[in-house]
A = this chain, B = another copy of it.
Amino acid sequence: MEKSQDALVLLRQIIRATDLHDKHLSRMTGLTMPQLMTMQTLRINGPLTIGMLAKEMNLAQATVTSILDRLERKKLVRRERSNTDKRKVLACPTEEGLELLKSAPATLQDTFIRQFEDMPDWEQSMIVAALEHVSHILGAHHLDAAPMLDIGALDRTTETRPPEYLRDTGDHHKN
């Protein structure tokens, strides 16, 4: 059957596009992708314990610890011990960290939303229905997911500027 191949290629294209955009964001913010991912997760969920953060990102706790070390050094994240249970450590995004995400360049979902909402209502419904179908086929419907296509950034501000203000060690990952 020809159409299933078409569908697969299209899905692959979509995934590839988001991946490339993630790498672009990475360059713009000066953060690595795991670092961006971490900031994004914190922005969405608010302060999380290291364990929760690890689970949320499908990484080992030790991995998250080291990522947080670097984010803390850049003052984008602050560690805070829990009062009720002093074993727990909360990772909190700093003001600076949230600022950084806000100033990230226009995101893929902005583009998507703009064009999507220009479409007639019946077409929107058709796309949602189709995506629902695909998600179900892949057994993905139970996965929790934020309404965003790329790792970083939110908000309307269309500021496209590479930040100079994180200098620590040479951290420019290029990808």
Inter-chain contacts of A140 with B (CB < 8 A): 13-14, 16-17
Q: Does A131 contact B (CB under 8 A)?
A: yes
A8 to B158, CA, bound (A): 11
Chain A 36-47 against B: per-residue CB contact (8 Å), 1 yes, 0 no? 000000000000
CB distance from A27 to the nearest CB of B (A): 12
Cβ–Cβ contact B12 & A128, under 8 A:
no
Cβ–Cβ contact A13 & B145, under 8 A:
yes
Taking residues whose C-beta sits less than 8 angstroms from the other chain, chain A's interface range is 35 or more
Residue on B nearest A157 in the bound complex, by CB: B5
Cβ–Cβ contact B145 & A16, under 8 A:
yes
> Which residues in chain A, 1-50, are within 8 Å of chain B measured between CB atoms?
1, 3-18, 20, 23
Q: Does A166 contact B (CB under 8 A)?
A: no
Q: A145-B16, A147-B9 are in contact. Are A4 and B113 (CB under 8 A)?
A: yes
- In this complex, the member of A16, A130, A146 whose beta carbon has the largest number of chain B beta carbons within 10 angstroms is A130
**Which A residues contact B (CB, under 8 angstroms)?**
1, 3-18, 20, 23, 58, 108-109, 111-113, 115-117, 119, 123-135, 137-141, 143, 145-149, 157-158
